Amino acid sequence: MERNGERLVEMTDITVEFPGVRALDGVKFYANRGEVHVLLGENGAGKSTIMKVLAGVNKNYSGKVIYKGQEIICSSIDEQRKRGVSIIFQEMNLLKNLTVAENIFLGRQPQLKAGHINWNSMYQKARELLDSIHSDISEKVIVQSLSVGQMQMVEIAKALSFDSDLIIMDEPTSALTEKEVDALFSIIEDLRKRGIAIVYISHRLEEIMKIGDRITIFRDGKYITEKLVTETNVDELASLMVGREMTDYYPKVNVQPGEKVLEVRHLNQERHKLKDISFYARAGEITGFYGLMGAGRTELVRALFGADKFESGEIFVNDKQVKIKTCEDAKKHGIALLTEDRKNQGLILEFDLNQNISLVNLQNIMGPFGLDSRKETVNNKKLTQAISVKTPSLKQKAKNLSGGNQQKVVICKWLNVDFRVIIFDEPTRGIDVGAKVEIYKIMNRLKEEGKAIVVISSELTECMGISDRIYIMHEGRITGCLEREEMKNIKEDDIIKFATGTYGTTEEEDK
Amino acid sequence: MRKKVLALVMAGAMILSVTACGKGETSNGDTSAKNDTVEAEGTEEAEDTQAESESGSYKIAYVVKALNMQFWTDMKAGAEACAAENGVELTFQAPDKESDVEIQVQMVENAITSGVDALILSAADSKALNPSIVKANEAGIPVILVNDTIDDAALEADGGHYETYVGIDQYESAALAGKYCVENLEKGKVAILEGIPGIVAHEQRLEGFKDTVEEAGFEIVASQTANCDRNEAFNVAQNILTSNPDVSIMWATNAEMGQGAIQAIEQLGKTGISVFDFDASDDDMETIKAGTLVGTVDQYPSKQGEYAVNAAIAVIKGEKLDPITSVPAELITKDNVK
Amino acid sequence: MEKKKINISSFTTVLVLLVLCVLLSILSPIFLTGTNLVNILQQVTVNAILALGMSVVIFTGGIDLSVGSILAIVGVVMAKLMLGAGINPVLAILVGIVLGAACGAINGFLIAKCKLQPMIATLGMMSIARGAALTIANGQTFSGFEKRFRWIGSGVLPGTIIPVQIVFMLLLYLLVFYILKYRKCGRYIYSIGGNEEATRLSGINIDRYKILAYTICGITAALASVVLVSKLNSAQAVAGEGYELDAIASTVIGGASLLGGFGSVWGTVIGAVIMGVIRNGLNLLNVTSYLQQLIIGIIIIIAVLMDSFKNNLNK
């Protein structure tokens, strides 16, 4: 488009203060038409904050904003929307029980004379919008039934319905499958060709290199620098983001694996289509599980942790067969599980850290008269300091911590128990690079202590980076297994073939 | 999903079975004991008359407000005895609680549909049963009211009528207790425990006593509801006596509240308070003998039952009755306690 | 169960209580007398004991509508044993407690294992227990209990004027408080209310502790029945109707969240006292009955609003 490259918005000297903390300190940012401008930074760097200012969500700011050549004040979401600025949040704002079209035109439904909704017109307009982004989602379907990726499409259609010139996307790919990410990227391409300015907030370095034109880096609320994608690389970005040399994304330690700690033979579960699963995990070793969403990995670990029932299969801990019917059983036999949804299943958000951490092993803090709160504080302090949980006090409510720290708290919880095998289900989802490395280091420490570790991950590089051996799952079966020696020679593409079921379902191919 | 369905089915079954059991009691010959001796015979004869009904004895439906108090079970005993003596088939029904007006309406309508020869009713509400009475009229079933009055004007406006009202005069009966006070006790301060607000019978009992003693110069220092509940009466009496320590007479419009007041007085260690209540329950008799209750108004519920059944039989036979069939009430004191 | 939050919450509740007391002592000279204050405590005892068990259940995020009916059937059964069969009061009380515990355990089982909603399960028990009580009693009321038994509800501690029932209530509160704060099962009860699934996935047998909570509620209902029957010297099958609502109101006024996870038994007892103070005050001032219900309702709403207002501030 002719107008591509034209500066649409320029923000200078933006400062935002919250009680006790300066979230943004005189930062600057700009966006041009037809360009994908990435905002990169760790959690808490201020990327969401500045975009919330531009979108009109946060009105308490100081500084100058020039939009379409005129100085404006971003005072409300409605006003900004009318000006052409739309934001798509990480947790989307769709009403699950309404249709796609109703969501797109919420509050602005086309009306007939008598004030009734013109359904035909609404559905037609919605269809046009969806077509313009090559989406085959029906405009009449209820949002509840859509996948996360599809909901994102609806949000984009909604943004387009406002004739937006600038669309802000906050961590859009955090819950998408790889296929959905590709679809999103091709739409972004399209929008770019139409002359729309895209602000893309993310900390996924590989993606940024693929989709971005320009990258601005924030750190601790301050503007650091700006780079063109063509002039930089992932390593440089990582170190700019974190403020130090990132030499090792996936720190690995070499430990001699011990005995089999956990072994599963021929596990079947009808409900989630788990078929004939057999695997093992050894002490001092990280066993990775890779697969696409829906491969059945979470369902598998839930089953062997006693969270869900399964029909047949044997579980062995330290070579002795165990019966696991409840989570209590699993815990007793030394199995620990850090669930995928750490907020709603791993923590009690409204309770403080003390309570969350001790819950798993209250026996530990029993005194002569019962639960001893002094013992509790001492114990929890030791645990949280050992893995550097950043919190002003243990009396903080769990919901006030950042994602990375929350995950560390969940780890502290289980460190209270003398487990033999610990299962991490997507442990670094939604966590920035710096915190990720800290968690990998914790896993390494556990490895050195002789524990068996199982890690489920949907990020192939991560999985390959930290695991000593990998199982690959596809639609409820284990389709591949890579032992230690094979790990060095395997190519990413091969693993993906296992994950998509293209190589067949037996393990003979790779042994 | 399966678990949810199972849970729903279980819940449904539970609720069904519970409501089926709880929907009220129908008499099957299981009466509580008071003084009437005929109940054993009554049971057998009721069964006999069932055989007779095939050959055409009268069927009477008797619906009251509840069966959870001695007053009603006494009435039931009296009614069933009378029915047995006369060879009539009687079904005595009531909802669980006096406030279950809707359920009573259903019972009445069921009785009408099953084609009884007469309906005896102690209405749970002064207006809500009127449509059912009209339905009975239209079905040619004579209606007899007992113990509880209804709004006559409203019934007339609806075009309904009943053959007679069997009962005591609540106002006059309460006045019996008031007269006793005037004649036998020194003028003093009076505290009153009222019934559930809005129930006409209790209001009449309240007025009957109050007017009689006020006329004679007694002073009413407190009048509070205790909702016909013994525990509440205990608490309310306790509070009233705390703020009015020189109360010498207490009047409660039913026996449960009277007994609650007596307990409170005992607990406070007070003496010299004359307590009167209404209903003449077994507890009342005991406390009169013991001297903690001075008097109670017996409305002879069993007599009411008997009179009502007799009235029904008379009406079926074609007699015309007076609009009011008075049943005598009596003040029971230590002089005439049995 | 943040400590700070509880203190502020109890503080608001105590504030409401103090305001009411000041108001009433101005309006009625009798209110602040020793006799009246002791009366109030006696008058709230039955409800306070019911509310104690109700609080435990509410802390797990559940509710128990059957406490009034359990109170009735325990009363009737104890009466039949003591008066009808001449059984020793101590034994009769034990049977009553076991009966209450059994009713509670059934509630807990239906809710934990059969996954019924607490409201529905306890609604069923409410009808069943009431129906059973009415059937056993068959229209009778029972009275004339022996002095030893009646001492619980109407006696005083030897050598003092302190009523036994108040001491009994306080001891129960201390016991339950200790369990909730210093025993593992107490923590679990709160956690289940805070986030049931997270608690389960922490390897805790939540079914067991849910059943425990409802059993405790059944036991307190039985104990409340002991106090009531011994106080009134009579047991009736119709006793306790509507008492569950007062118990719930006391718990909510006391600052507990109906969603579970938060609250303290001390808040509950203050809530019960507030309700008793209101009723007592209205009696002393000779306010008519129609107005009483209205006023009680309004004060409950004010207390709860104050609590949620202050909660939002905290956020």
The predicted-structure confidence for A188-212, as pLDDT tens digits, reads as follows 998 898 899 999 998 778 888 999 9
Chain C touching partners, 3 or more CB pairs below 8 A: A, B
- Pick the more confident residue, B14 or C45: C45
Query: Burial code of A142-177, b = ≥16 C-beta within 10 A, e = fewer?
Result: ebeebeebbbbbbbbbbbbbbebbbbbbbbbbebbb
Q: Residue A449 in 3-state DSSP? A: coil
Q: What is the DSSP letter of B169?
A: -
Residue found by looking up tokens 């509801």 in the block? B225
Question: Which among B296, B285, B237, B226 is positioned nearest to B261, based on CA atoms?
Answer: B237
Query: Burial code of C8-31, b = ≥16 C-beta within 10 A, e = fewer?
Result: bbbebbeebbeebbeebeeebebb
Q: Tens digit of pLDDT for each residue in A100-144?
A: 998 888 878 887 777 788 888 899 989 988 888 778 888 899 988
Q: What is the ipTM of this complex?
A: 0.86
Q: Is the CB of residue A307 less than 8 Å away from at least one CB of chain C?
A: yes
Q: Greatest CA separation found in chain B?
A: 75
pLDDT-derived band at C311, boundaries 50, 70, 90: low
Q: Is the CB of residue C195 less than 8 Å away from at least one CB of chain A?
A: yes
Q: Tens digit of pLDDT for each residue in A443-496?
A: 999 999 999 999 998 878 788 889 999 999 988 899 889 888 888 777 777 777
Q: Beta strand A421-425 with A335-338: parallel, antiparallel or unpaired?
A: parallel
pLDDT of residue C259: 86
Pairwise CA distance, residues B319 & C283, whole Å: 51
Kindly list the residues from chain C whose CB atom is less than 8 angstroms away from the CB atom of residue B19. 127
Residue found by looking up tokens 């005083």 in the block? C156
Q: What is the DSSP letter of A362?
A: G
Q: Is the CB of residue A95 less than 8 Å away from at least one CB of chain C?
A: no
C-alpha distances in Å from residue C173, one per residue of B97, C170, C192, C229: 34, 5, 21, 20
Q: Tens digit of pLDDT for each residue in C85-142?
A: 889 999 999 999 999 999 999 999 999 999 999 999 999 999 999 999 988 988 777 8
Candidate CATH numbers 3.40.50.720, 3.40.50.300, 3.30.70.1560, 3.30.2310.20; the one for domain A1-84+164-246: 3.40.50.300
| DSSP bridge partners of A117 | A111
Q: Which two tokens stand for residue C212?
A: 């425990």
pLDDT, averaged across chain C: 89
pLDDT of residue B10: 57
pLDDT of residue C71: 97
Kindly list the residues from chain B whose CB atom is less than 8 angstroms away from the CB atom of residue C36. 239, 242-243
**CB-based contact A362 C3, cutoff 8 Å:** no
Q: Is the CB of residue C185 less than 8 Å away from at least one CB of chain A?
A: no
Q: Is the CB of residue A18 less than 8 Å away from at least one CB of chain C?
A: no
C-alpha distances in Å from residue A68, one per residue of A11, A161, C160: 12, 19, 85
Phi, psi of A485 (to 5 degrees): -65, -35
Element (H, E) at C80: none
pLDDT-derived band at B312, boundaries 50, 70, 90: very high
pLDDT of residue A458: 81
pLDDT-derived band at C143, boundaries 50, 70, 90: confident
pLDDT of residue B4: 54
Whether residue C239 has pLDDT greater than 60: yes
pLDDT of residue C305: 79
Percent of chain A whose pLDDT exceeds 90: 41
Tell me the nearest-neighbour CA distance from C187 into chain A, angstroms: 8
pLDDT of residue B82: 93
Whether residue A491 contacts residue A510, with contact meaning beta carbons closer than 8 Å, is answered with no
Q: What is the DSSP letter of C40?
A: H
**CB-based contact C187 A362, cutoff 8 Å:** yes
Q: Tens digit of pLDDT for each residue in A318-377?
A: 999 999 999 999 999 999 999 988 888 999 999 999 999 999 999 989 988 999 999 999
Residue found by looking up tokens 């078929």 in the block? A275
- How much of chain C is in helix, strand and coil states, percent to nearest 5? 75, 5, 20
DSSP string, B68-124: SSHHHHHHHHHHHHHHHHHT-EEEEEE-SSTT-HHHHHHHHHHHHHTT-SEEEE--S
Residue of C nearest to A339 (CA): C201
Physical contact, A and B (3 or more Cβ pairs within 8 A):
no
Tell me the whole-structure pTM to 2 decimals.
0.75
Mutation site for C-interface testing, chosen from B9, B263, B268 by largest number of C Cβ within 10 Å: B263
pLDDT, averaged across chain A: 86
The residue length of chain C stands at: 315
Q: Tens digit of pLDDT for each residue in B6-55?
A: 555 555 555 544 443 334 443 333 333 333 333 333 333 344 444 344 44
**CB-based contact C262 A350, cutoff 8 Å:** yes
Which range has the worst mean pLDDT, A365-379, B5-19, B89-103, C140-154? B5-19
pLDDT of residue C282: 84
Please classify residue B291 by burial: count the beta carbons closer than 10 Å to its beta carbon, then call 0-12 exposed, 13-18 middle and 19+ buried.
Answer: exposed
Q: Which CATH class is domain A260-350+419-510?
A: alpha beta
Tell me the nearest-neighbour CA distance from A429 into chain C, angstroms: 19
- Pick the more confident residue, A93 or A417: A417
Question: Which among B314, B327, B326, B325 is positioned nearest to B142, based on CA atoms?
Answer: B314
Which of C30, C115, C124 lies at the smallest CB-CB distance from B18? C124
Query: Burial code of C244-279, b = ≥16 C-beta within 10 A, e = fewer?
Result: bebbbbbbbbbbbbeebbbbbbbbbbbbbbbbbbbb
The count of CB pairs under 8 A between chains A and C is 80
Q: Is the CB of residue C194 less than 8 Å away from at least one CB of chain A?
A: yes
Please classify residue C211 by burial: count the beta carbons closer than 10 Å to its beta carbon, then call 0-12 exposed, 13-18 middle and 19+ buried.
Answer: buried
Q: What is the DSSP letter of A203?
A: -
Q: Is the CB of residue A343 less than 8 Å away from at least one CB of chain C?
A: no
**CB-based contact C143 B259, cutoff 8 Å:** yes
Which of A330, A350, A369 lies at the smallest CB-CB distance from C203? A330
Whether residue B89 contacts residue B60, with contact meaning beta carbons closer than 8 Å, is answered with yes
Q: What is the DSSP letter of A163?
A: T
Rounding to the nearest 10 degrees, give the CA dihedral for residues A313, A318, A322, A325.
-80
Domain with CATH 3.40.50.300 in chain A: 1-84+164-246, 260-350+419-510
Q: Write out residues 259-288 of C within 8 Å (CB-CB) of A.
A: 261-262
Q: Is the CB of residue C200 less than 8 Å away from at least one CB of chain A?
A: yes
**CB-based contact C292 B225, cutoff 8 Å:** yes
| Mean pLDDT in residue range B156-179 | 90
Rounding to the nearest 10 degrees, give the CA dihedral for residues C169, C170, C175, C179.
100
pLDDT of residue A255: 86
Which of B7, B22, B67 lies at the smallest CB-CB distance from C131? B22
Q: Tens digit of pLDDT for each residue in C47-77?
A: 999 999 999 999 999 999 999 999 999 999 9
Percent of chain C whose pLDDT exceeds 70: 94
Pairwise CA distance, residues C140 & B69, whole Å: 7
The CA-based angle A190-A191-A197, given to 5 degrees, is 145
Q: Which two tokens stand for residue A215?
A: 């990258």
Pairwise CA distance, residues A277 & A313, whole Å: 8
| Mean pLDDT in residue range C272-295 | 84
DSSP string, C257-296: -TTSS---HHHHHHHHHHHHHHHHHHHHTT--HHHHHHHH
Pairwise CA distance, residues C185 & C169, whole Å: 22
| Mean pLDDT in residue range C158-168 | 90
Residue found by looking up tokens 């602000």 in the block? A199
Question: Which among B258, B268, B321, B263 is positioned nearest to B294, based on CA atoms?
Answer: B258
User: Side chain identity at A396, as an amino acid letter?
Assistant: Q
Kindly list the residues from chain A whose CB atom is less than 8 angstroms away from the CB atom of residue C311. none
Q: Beta strand B295-298 with B330-332: parallel, antiparallel or unpaired?
A: antiparallel
Kindly list the residues from chain C whose CB atom is less than 8 angstroms away from the CB atom of residue B238. 39, 42-43
Whether residue A260 contacts residue A280, with contact meaning beta carbons closer than 8 Å, is answered with yes
Q: Which two tokens stand for residue B303?
A: 């007599």
**CB-based contact C143 B243, cutoff 8 Å:** no
pLDDT of residue C110: 97
Residue-range domain boundaries for chain C: 42-241+256-263
| Mean pLDDT in residue range A37-51 | 83
pLDDT of residue A438: 87
pLDDT of residue C313: 60
